[in-house]
Structure 1
């Protein structure tokens, strides 16, 4: 085992304009035989060692060789503090937080900061948050300054029977830097990105490294994010690209241990009593998503793969023949000439003909085209030599060409990766999209991006330990910016990989779920976990991507889930068109697709709220339920503030019993009208045709009538909205119409109030 150092005391304190800078002393630490815990060379009683323990072994104390570190406490917003630790002169100490490209606004708001000192402590605070640093032995506490309550505490006081420190506040060793935090008796932790395990992470150990997970049941994650929430009242955000291990009470039940593969720590703590408030504070630092065009919220259909223009046009025609609304058809890699883990933007005219004519043919049917890509180049591609000669490809620190890792190639040839840290390479990649966008391609599916190897030298000097996890953020950002530049509209990608800040580039989807009930359940959990880490627009492949043959009933259940998800796309290795699953499945799926289209006015409101406030569209039930027991509810979700969605995890055609949690207040089933009173649990017998969708008492849902003539969202642009008022609804509401105009509507006289008199609202339906 290499050298280990534990931070033990504060040596000096200096005031800074935004807080304080402290000199810290760390001492060598060793373990004792097989016992857990560490000792330093300090006197045993000073360390809390139980010298009277009968079976205490002889202790070989390490030397008192000091290591000096710098700790900075900075107030960056009223409820947000930044805690930076590193050796003197480390690049992180000189960075305002934006150096890695995750943080986009290092000072979201001006804030007054105070500094107090006494013999025992240093206190840095704002009106909302206060940081207490104990001088010796070193420890750190973050408090809600308004309530005085502790929200975060380092875990140095936790010990084992011999008195050895079990979880030192700050530990540095060959693995990097570790921060240990106490978990209070009833404290639950959520977050850490798109994890497909239970939403409450207590008891889990997670490695935050973006991987080609090859499913939702492998324990790997496409979009890990070093952001977590505590029910104690704070969110933590590690501003890093380094691989991070989050041990949430797994090794030590009362300790949240965070280990970064880096020699510096950059931690933001956002203090707020609600999950929504913490997400607003976090996204003020890292950015919020734009709202894509209305068609993005329609129904998308894809398959791995469509092999020709004729096949896709036939699917479009059958959508119209079966009167299923659809806005987007997705084309996977068959559009390429060299198409196996390669993307060089050379269109396959043999299979799909002239691209502009193909896009026009779909447009005649009211459908837009989505096109697949990935950031890897095959040596067989004509563009490989061009990119290599120009220095656009990632290289190792020894100068050799880097190739993808942990994603198998079909032919054994290596695949190179574009270096998005190189401005010229980034611009070149973006320029390859221009002709596609000019021809009318609407969106790119930014697949893969998880295979950057370790030990690479990025052109911009990004430290190698940060490069892997930052690669998905840079890749999706480059494509998103290209779409915005070429089209002049809010961009949209359909990305699989991600990291902190990825919410800026909507949307993302949950990767390759298995076509089973377990795959569907893991998908919902992954979406909820991602929602509290990178809030924005997220979705999934309806029916799952691979695995056992999808039953018609599971296809229906998954379609119901998709119809009430932020975005809606069916996709898989095998056909996902609803008519392939029989007449009953087609009928039910069509009904739920039409229900979604009727709710597009509501989804439009939710998307704009998410963009403005930094909230997810898909939300954990705890955001509407103050009961602490709701924190772990992860089999259902809120769609915005007012709609609770209860997916049915079953693959049979017979009715099944579904148990679900009802938040406080009255909630009415949108389809059946059945009333539920909360807080508490309800159980319902659910036929295949139905999925519980509950609407909160007091809500006003804007909807639009959808009949057999509706082909796509364009057909709804001029239709009047119908307002559905539930229970004790307000007398007036403000709504954003599809043109972006904010309208104020009087529910007592909706057709006579101001701008509503132009026929914007057809009437009000009350559900009392």
Structure 2
């Protein structure tokens, strides 16, 4: 083998190789790192710098070395690494060229992270490394060759760069940090390490073996490989959570190309990585939501039953549905109206109410209210040039412009008429306020909630008013769109905000709620929807749901409609919606009867759901929880993505089937004792069980030791308002006496003591009875 070193300027990849300086700067440690030009071997895995081959660990005696290697020059380039603590167990690792914005700006500059405080670290130095230590996390930076390790409070290495991984001749295959049209971070994965997260991804919950592009898109379904709500956050079963504080596109190769490497490519000159250490993912999510904010608990009525259709075409059509809900004794809180409320109603929102179809808005809202239903309205952040307000918005500068000054156009989402739609620039304070105040007449007339649809269409050549870099703007647009509407609803109404959003990014969980996009009306669509929700729960903890029955596709069967309704009844929110009718009476008498039973069951469990929602808001946890979240020590739990926990105490096992005959359902029972919610049948875990479930049933298990508050639901209950003032019953599973703090529907705390046969409650919520399970 022969080597030659080129002397010309090298404009290609660079690899971080040597620490050249360490300076304490307030609560941060600034480390200067030398990056050297590097080349990838032709036709074989491996990277080389211009340094001596032996110094790079190359086995020069191997008979199958390449014959000739043209090494790059050794001209060093400076990279600045800044390490600080963002909490007792959270480290921030910011890396970029001198003067990069990651070093100049506060970490909140993108709107993802919302706090900028740091803890003072302890710094340890020796000849080999510098270590930045906090109470529950430590970052060790190896001086030469450059490498990073993160350790937890017990000193365990939970994250390490992949410098040890090489091919047979010793060439490194995954340099720790590679700069090449972006930043590549290569992390070594342990032999039994599993990676979860990355937002609302519709494939298997464990991401090992997958390659994901994190870029928010109009995914056109749940089976296309794209995602409406990707999030650059992941959890490792080795004991850490990582967040990339970026709006740039991220590619996550989770052992897809190299089985032992988690490779992260960020389309930016810098890397801003937060690492949260700790064995319990619940505690890591709590720390993550301290950084990025927590979702407020939505109003009680949001947890009732929602009904929608794309589309209802008139006021009378919707009032007929509301009357039918009452006639069939189906509780329902919200009716949703898609774009037909607009005059120009195809990928346009200009807030011009269609009086021809829906008459006087205030009168229409009042007519729905008389039937017990609130009104939800659709919107998107796009304007059609055919709209009467388009010229005003363009003249005032409210529309997103391109880098050459032209009005930007929505990308990827097809338009039915060929006209290009424009986008509202939410980074312009005046445009944001104009859009927000356009909601005021609707809110004043009693509209309860807006479905903030779309938002994934910002083009790559957009030049936003606030100067957001183009490579960050696309993914941040949904965050800013939903924030604008949610914030204004809260400010204008004085109540907890609520939107029903489709698009999202890191931080979107602050603006509840979100739904899983346009699923196909198939068993595969139902499965993908749940997987997306579980993955999103680990990345954006809060309040998420889905369209019962799926949005599009083959004719929905009565069996699948019932099975999906059962899943919806035990989801954080419950909304049926699709291109065709989703009302339960549209699927036959059996479907109506069974669906009504499950809807009523949901309403009876609203006191429990209310506690789970409070827990989510207070602790930064999702309502819908993967088993791996509540059972982090269970090696089986991460790969169980066909069932979930609702709150901490209900284990929900959806039945993925589109027929009406009984089916066998195999599911995993986590550690401990459990009881069937409807029959009290006991189950013990850990282990798999198979039960036969008729169409009327779905396995729902209650954790032993749980205290479930419930309320009686009869045919007189039309909506959640009818439950106010009704006493609750405490259902105790596997325990005799208990003391519990409950949050009443009025938001105030009630202390309940159960001793013997007596129930005593101190507070605003009446609790009059205790029922012990299993019943004797």
TM bin, normalised by shorter chain, reads over 0.9
Report if aligned partners of 2:341, 2:358 keep a CA contact under 8 Å in 1: yes
Structure 1 counterpart of 2:40: 31
Report if aligned partners of 2:147, 2:161 keep a CA contact under 8 Å in 1: yes
Alignment CA distance shift 1:730-1:44 (3 Å)? farther
- Equivalents in 1 of 2:54, 2:234: separation in Å? 36
Structure 2 counterpart of 1:79: 89
Shift, 1:623, TM fit = 2.4
- Equivalents in 1 of 2:305, 2:187: separation in Å? 44
Shift, 1:106, TM fit = 2.0
**Is 1:137 aligned to 2:150, yes or no?**
no
**Is 1:634 aligned to 2:641, yes or no?**
yes
Structure 1 counterpart of 2:460: 454
Alignment CA distance shift 1:462-1:708 (3 Å)? same
Structure 2 counterpart of 1:98: 108
Structure 2 counterpart of 1:709: 716
Structure 2 counterpart of 1:173: 180
Per mean C-alpha deviation after superposition, the further-off stretch among 728-737 and 706-715 is 728-737
Report if aligned partners of 1:539, 1:567 keep a CA contact under 8 Å in 2: yes
Q: 1:115 aligns with which of 123, 128, 153?
A: 123
- Equivalents in 1 of 2:305, 2:251: separation in Å? 37
Structure 2 counterpart of 1:723: 730
Structure 2 counterpart of 1:48: 57
Q: 1:318 aligns with which of 304, 316, 324?
A: 324
Shift, 1:730, TM fit = 5.5
Structure 2 counterpart of 1:555: 561
**Is 1:297 aligned to 2:303, yes or no?**
yes
Shift, 1:96, TM fit = 2.1
- Equivalents in 2 of 1:444, 1:751: separation in Å? 45
**Is 1:3 aligned to 2:12, yes or no?**
yes
- Equivalents in 2 of 1:27, 1:709: separation in Å? 74
- Equivalents in 1 of 2:630, 2:200: separation in Å? 21
- Equivalents in 1 of 2:151, 2:737: separation in Å? 37
CA deviations 1:362-415 (Å, max 9, x no partner) are 011111000000000000001110110011111111111110011000000000
Report if aligned partners of 1:359, 1:439 keep a CA contact under 8 Å in 2: yes
Q: 2:602 aligns with which of 596, 599, 614?
A: 596
- Equivalents in 2 of 1:233, 1:76: separation in Å? 18
Structure 1 counterpart of 2:7: none
Structure 1 counterpart of 2:629: 623
TM-score when normalising by structure 2: 0.97
- Equivalents in 2 of 1:44, 1:378: separation in Å? 61
- Equivalents in 1 of 2:496, 2:243: separation in Å? 27
Structure 1 counterpart of 2:5: none
CA deviations 1:31-84 (Å, max 9, x no partner) are 121111210000001111110110211211110111101000001100000000
TM-score when normalising by structure 1: 0.98
Report if aligned partners of 2:759, 2:769 keep a CA contact under 8 Å in 1: no
- Equivalents in 2 of 1:736, 1:749: separation in Å? 23
Q: 2:679 aligns with which of 656, 667, 672?
A: 672
**Is 1:336 aligned to 2:345, yes or no?**
no
**Is 1:613 aligned to 2:619, yes or no?**
yes
* 1:449-528 paired onto structure 2 within 5 Å: 449-528=455-534
Divergent runs of 4+, >3 A: 749-752
Structure 1 counterpart of 2:6: none
Shift, 1:729, TM fit = 5.8
Tell me, what secondary structure is at the counterpart of 1:356?
Answer: helix
* 1:528-607 paired onto structure 2 within 5 Å: 528-607=534-613
- Equivalents in 1 of 2:732, 2:116: separation in Å? 42
- Equivalents in 1 of 2:27, 2:468: separation in Å? 27
Tell me, what secondary structure is at the counterpart of 2:636?
Answer: helix
Aligned residues: 763
- Equivalents in 1 of 2:305, 2:480: separation in Å? 28
Tell me, what secondary structure is at the counterpart of 2:687?
Answer: strand
Structure 2 counterpart of 1:658: 665
Tell me, what secondary structure is at the counterpart of 2:241?
Answer: strand
Report if aligned partners of 1:300, 1:329 keep a CA contact under 8 Å in 2: yes
Structure 2 counterpart of 1:369: 375
- Equivalents in 1 of 2:758, 2:601: separation in Å? 24
* 1:182-261 paired onto structure 2 within 5 Å: 182-261=188-267
Report if aligned partners of 1:19, 1:114 keep a CA contact under 8 Å in 2: no
Tell me, what secondary structure is at the counterpart of 1:605?
Answer: helix
Report if aligned partners of 1:80, 1:281 keep a CA contact under 8 Å in 2: yes
Shift, 1:753, TM fit = 2.7
Structure 1 counterpart of 2:28: 19
Shift, 1:633, TM fit = 0.6
CA deviations 1:196-248 (Å, max 9, x no partner) are 00000000000000000000000000000000000011000000000000000
Shift, 1:111, TM fit = 3.2
Tell me, what secondary structure is at the counterpart of 1:622?
Answer: helix
- Equivalents in 1 of 2:420, 2:236: separation in Å? 43
Structure 2 counterpart of 1:431: 437
- Equivalents in 2 of 1:469, 1:533: separation in Å? 15
Tell me, what secondary structure is at the counterpart of 1:232?
Answer: coil
**Is 1:154 aligned to 2:161, yes or no?**
yes
- Equivalents in 1 of 2:756, 2:750: separation in Å? 14
Report the aligned-residue RMSD. Answer: 1.1
Structure 2 counterpart of 1:745: 752
- Equivalents in 2 of 1:755, 1:59: separation in Å? 80
- Equivalents in 1 of 2:646, 2:535: separation in Å? 15
Tell me, what secondary structure is at the counterpart of 1:603?
Answer: helix
CA deviations 1:519-566 (Å, max 9, x no partner) are 000000000000000000000000000000000000000000000000
- Equivalents in 2 of 1:111, 1:483: separation in Å? 35
Gaps of 5+ in 2: 1-9
Report if aligned partners of 2:761, 2:767 keep a CA contact under 8 Å in 1: no
Alignment CA distance shift 1:642-1:729 (3 Å)? farther
Shift, 1:589, TM fit = 0.1
Gaps of 5+ in 1: none
Report if aligned partners of 1:700, 1:729 keep a CA contact under 8 Å in 2: no
